[in-house]
Structure formats: structure tokens, C-alpha cells
């Protein structure tokens, strides 16, 4: 179903005061909420929904407003939920007419909404921010005549990858998936796998690398045994083979990859798209995430600095090879 969009009703409640009667209407968030064209965002972002059966999704203004507030104040999803409950300006910005004492959404709704929208739809938020800047005279159109295009790394919330941790994690995921679908394994290696991981970490910390490598080989052996056992159990069952196809492929890549190998590697099992990127930073030689391209005006605008264009660059391409495509996206 399509979301039930919010509209200003002007209704009054005998026991509750309207937000516009208890807040400062000259506050920056109030002015920004009235400058944004919410109808434009509803049309662009609401196009991903279809008129089918089911519970209606959350209003577009609520979710788009939360996304804007999250990036304006650099908040995590958990902190954003806490701030939304206690801040009437946040609630007014998201379209509420009366103060809400409980969340009208779940924290996981933010993640699901971002995944549903995707990069292409969320560009509408960037376009509307530039349109608001132009309408409020914070930026002039000629400020975008010359821009600076650069790349950086958008880090992912992943554990620092080591071979031992990845191999043990892959075994745990395969065992958990087998238990969930009723696949009985000969042995799960839960106890001995944990002991081998602890030994590897202690030996590596003590610079006893021969013993550490021996523990690592044990972990790799345990993972290989689990993979082969599952493969034998699900042979001939097309439904289970389809379920286990992607996890087993990732587990095999983790088992077979080497620390010194060239080419793509798995750095995170829940986010296999993560890459190891070095940007020459002294305080952070290597970062784990995805390369992104950002374009900003050459000179600072009257209302501050604005982002004219942003795009993800999976595969860690060479910066010079992406310049022409990014220029066409900005200038047409």
C-alpha cells in the first residue's frame, strides 16, 4: 500500500496544545520545515510503493524528516529516536501537530526505509536541499558553475577483520543456519572452535606466530568440515540448496582467501560489499567501507557549504577514471 501522507489539519484538542502554539515559530527547524517542498519528496519517494494489500507504510514526511535530522546532527538511529521523543522541534519538523510522548515508529523502520528507497531515490533529498538553498538565497545558481569533485571512504560498521575472526564467524553462521532449517550436523565445533580462536589471539599477542598459525589452521579445518557436512546433507534438496547457496559461497571464500592475496576479499560476512581502501591518512592508513564521490562548490556560498552531488563507487575504482562520469551527472 501507499503511505497515508500527513496534511496540516488545523484541528484542536481540548486536552492537548498544538505544537505551533508552544514552540518558537522563528526557530531554524520551523523555518526549514516550511521551506521544504514536502509534496515533491512525497511524489519522488512514494513512487516505490504500490497499491497492494497490507498495512500502509509510515508517512513519507516522517521518514524523510528523520533522515534529514539524522544527517544534520550526525546522530545514530538510537540517539535520533531518543532526541525525537524529547524535542518538540524534531516532531514539528516531521509533521506532527501534537506532542507525542511515545515513538510513532520503530527504530528498525529507519533501516528498512533506507533499504527500500536505495541510492537513486535518496538523491531527491539532496536535490531538495539545493532547491531550498536557492529559494532562501543561501546559494545562487551560479555558485555551482565550478565545483570540486573528490572521493573519500564511507566506513561501514564492521568488526576489524582478521582471518581467525572471519573463519570462526563463518562457521557459526553456517551452524546457526543449519539448525534453523533442521539440518542435523555431525559436529558443530562450537566448543573447540571458540578455544582455537582464543588460543590464536593469545599466541598472536605474544608474537608466537608458529603456534598462532597452527590454531588458525585448526579453525580453517573446522569450517571446511562444516561446509562439506552441510553439502552432503542438502544434496538433492533444491529448496535447501537455494537457501544455503550464498552463505556457503561466502564461507568458501573466507576459508580459501589468504592474507597476502591480490584482488577482492571478504572483510565482513554481513556486508560482503565492504572493501579495504587506503587514502594515505596518517591516523588511519586503511579504512573498511565503500568509496564515495562528493562534489561541492569551489567557493563557499552565502549560507555555508553545500553538497552538489554524491554517489557511491563500489569496486574501489581509480579516482581519475570516475571524473568524467561524475561531471556528466552534475552538469548533464
User: Quick check: is 155 in a domain?
Assistant: no
173-192 pLDDT tens trace: 999 999 999 999 999 999 99
Looking at the DSSP assignment, which residues form a beta bridge with residue 313?
A: 291
Assess whether 172 and 243 both reside in one domain.
Answer: yes
Assess whether 252 and 280 both reside in one domain.
Answer: no
- Could you give the dihedral angle defined by the CA atoms of residues 115, 154, 268 and 176, in that order, rounded to the nearest 10 degrees? -30
Assess whether 32 and 129 both reside in one domain.
Answer: yes
- What is the structure's pLDDT at 306? 86
Residue 52 sits at φ, ψ, to 5 deg, of -115, 175
Residue 101 sits at φ, ψ, to 5 deg, of -95, -10
Assess whether 177 and 226 both reside in one domain.
Answer: yes
Assess whether 116 and 170 both reside in one domain.
Answer: no
The overall longest dimension of the chain from CA atoms, in Å, is 76
Looking at the DSSP assignment, which residues form a beta bridge with residue 284?
A: none
Rg (alpha carbons) of the chain, rounded to whole number: 25
| Length of the chain counted residue by residue | 332
Assess whether 297 and 223 both reside in one domain.
Answer: no
For residue 313, give the H/E element and its range: strand 309-313
Q: Specify the DSSP class assigned to residue 295.
A: E
- What is the structure's pLDDT at 249? 94
Domain carrying residue 287: 275-331
> If we measure between CA atoms, which residue out of 65, 60, 63, 69 comes closest to residue 42?
60
Predicted TM-score (pTM) of this structure: 0.73
Looking at the DSSP assignment, which residues form a beta bridge with residue 288?
A: 276
Residue ending a domain, choose from 206, 227, 256: 256
> If we measure between CA atoms, which residue out of 168, 145, 188, 185 comes closest to residue 295?
145
Q: Specify the DSSP class assigned to residue 112.
A: H
> If we measure between CA atoms, which residue out of 136, 40, 34, 46 comes closest to residue 92?
34
User: Quick check: is 93 in a domain?
Assistant: yes
Assess whether 242 and 296 both reside in one domain.
Answer: no
Assess whether 236 and 185 both reside in one domain.
Answer: yes
Straight-line distance from the first to the last Cα atom of the chain, in angstroms, rounded to the nearest whole number:
35
Assess whether 131 and 28 both reside in one domain.
Answer: yes
- What is the structure's pLDDT at 266? 92
User: Quick check: is 124 in a domain?
Assistant: yes
Concatenated DSSP letters of 205-218: HTT-HHHHHHHHHH
User: Quick check: is 229 in a domain?
Assistant: yes
How far is residue 325's CA from residue 328's CA, in Å, rounded to a whole number? 5
**Do 170 and 250 meet the contact criterion of CB atoms below 8 Å apart?**
yes
Assess whether 285 and 248 both reside in one domain.
Answer: no
- What is the structure's pLDDT at 188? 94
**Do 122 and 64 meet the contact criterion of CB atoms below 8 Å apart?**
no
At 249, list the grid cell.
Answer: 559461497
Concatenated DSSP letters of 137-189: TSS-GGGGSSEEEEEEEEE---PPP-HHHHHHHHHHHHHHHHHHTT---S---
Assess whether 127 and 190 both reside in one domain.
Answer: no
User: Quick check: is 264 in a domain?
Assistant: no
Low-confidence stretches of the chain (pLDDT beneath 50): none
Assess whether 25 and 128 both reside in one domain.
Answer: yes
- What is the structure's pLDDT at 137? 86
Q: How many domains does the chain have?
A: 3
User: Quick check: is 4 in a domain?
Assistant: no
User: Quick check: is 261 in a domain?
Assistant: no
> If we measure between CA atoms, which residue out of 118, 209, 103, 119 comes closest to residue 164?
209
For residue 282, give the H/E element and its range: none
User: Quick check: is 5 in a domain?
Assistant: no
Amino acid at each position: 500500500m501507499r503511505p497515508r501522507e500527513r496534511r496540516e489539519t488545523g484541528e484542536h484538542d481540548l486536552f492537548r496544545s498544538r505544537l505551533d502554539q508552544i514552540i518558537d515559530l522563528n526557530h531554524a527547524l520551523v523555518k526549514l520545515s516550511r521551506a521544504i517542498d514536502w509534496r515533491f519528496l512525497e511524489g519522488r519517494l512514494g513512487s516505490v510503493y504500490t497499491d497492494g494489500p497490507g498495512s500502509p507504510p509510515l508517512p513519507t514526511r516522517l521518514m524523510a524528516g528523520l533522515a534529514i535530522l539524522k544527517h544534520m546532527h550526525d546522530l545514530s538511529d538510537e540517539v535520533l529516536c531518543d532526541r525525537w521523543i524529547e524535542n518538540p522541534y524534531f516532531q514539528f519538523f516531521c509533521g506532527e501537530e501534537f506532542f507525542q510522548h511515545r515513538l510513532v515508529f520503530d527504530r528498525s523502520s529507519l533501516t528498512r526505509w533506507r533499504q527500500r528507497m536505495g541510492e537513486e531515490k535518496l538523491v531527491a533529498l539532496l536535490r531538495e536541499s539545493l532547491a531550498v538553498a536557492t529559494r532562501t538565497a543561501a546559494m545562487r545558481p551560479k555558485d555551482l558553475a565550478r565545483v570540486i569533485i573528490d572521493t573519500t571512504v564511507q566506513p561501514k560498521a564492521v568488526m576489524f577483520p582478521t582471518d581467525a575472526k572471519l573463519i570462526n564467524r563463518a562457521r557459526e553462521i553456517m551452524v546457526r543456519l543449519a539448525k534453523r532449517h533442521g539440518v542435523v550436523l555431525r559436529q558443530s565445533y562450537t566448543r573447540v572452535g571458540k578455544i582455537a580462536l582464543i588460543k590464536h589471539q593469545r599466541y598472536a599477542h605474544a608474537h608466537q606466530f608458529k603456534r598462532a598459525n597452527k590454531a588458525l589452521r585448526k579453525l580453517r579445518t573446522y569450517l571446511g568440515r562444516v561446509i562439506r557436512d552441510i553439502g552432503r546433507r542438502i544434496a538433492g534438496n533444491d529448496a535447501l540448496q537455494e537457501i544455503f547457496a550464498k552463505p556457503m559461497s561466502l564461507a568458501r571464500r573466507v576459508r580459501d582467501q589468504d592474507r597476502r592475496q591480490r584482488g577482492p576479499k571478504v572483510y565482513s560476512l554481513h556486508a560482503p560489499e565492504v572493501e579495504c581502501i587506503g587514502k594515505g591518512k596518517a591516523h588511519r592508513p586503511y579504512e573498511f567501507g565503500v568509496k564515495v564521490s562528493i562534489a561541492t562548490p569551489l567557493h563557499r556560498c552565502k549560507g555555508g557549504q553545500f553538497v552538489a552531488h554524491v554517489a557511491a563507487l563500489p569496486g574501489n575504482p581509480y579516482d581519475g577514471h570516475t571524473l568524467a562520469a561524475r561531471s556528466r551527472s552534475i552538469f548533464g
